[in-house]
Amino acid sequence: IGSQWRHYAECGSTSDLARSWALDPEAPAPDGAVVTADLQTQGRGRRGASWRAAGGENLLMTVVLHPPYPVSAAWRLGYVAALAVADALAELGLSPQLKWPNDVLLAGNKTCGVLVETALLPNGEWRAILGIGVNVNQTEFPDAETFVYPPTSLRMASGRTFAMDEVRQRLWEWLERWEDIHRSAGDFDPIAAGWRRYLAVGAKVRRGGETAELQDIESDGAARVCLHDGTFTVWRTVDG
Selected binder of ligand BTN within 19, 40, 167, 221 (CB under 6 A)? 40
Q: Does 49 sit near ligand BTN (CB under 6 A)?
A: yes
Q: Does 82 sit near ligand BTN (CB under 6 A)?
A: no
Q: Please, which of residues 8-37 interact with ligand BTN by CB under 6 A?
A: 13-15
Of 3 and 41, nearer to ligand BTN (C-beta) is 41
Of 164 and 226, nearer to ligand BTN (C-beta) is 164
What is the edge-to-edge ordering of all strands in the sheet holding 109-120?
A: 5-11, 33-40, 58-65, 126-135, 109-120, 103-106, 96-99
7-15, 85-93, 177-185, 186-194 -> range binding ligand BTN (CB under 6 A): 7-15
Rg (CA), the chain: 17
CA angle 150, 151, 155 (to 5 degrees): 135
45-53, 151-159, 168-176, 226-234 -> range binding ligand BTN (CB under 6 A): 45-53
Q: Please, which of residues 128-157 interact with ligand BTN by CB under 6 A?
A: 131-133
Q: Is there a contact between 68 and 183 (Cβ–Cβ < 8 Å)?
A: yes
Q: Whole-angstrom Cα distance, residue 72 to residue 163?
A: 36
Q: Does 62 sit near ligand BTN (CB under 6 A)?
A: yes
Q: Is there a contact between 43 and 51 (Cβ–Cβ < 8 Å)?
A: yes
The total of other beta-carbon atoms located within 10 Å of residue 7's CB is: 13
Residues that bind ligand BTN (CB under 6 A): 13-15, 40, 43-46, 49, 51, 60-62, 113-115, 131-133
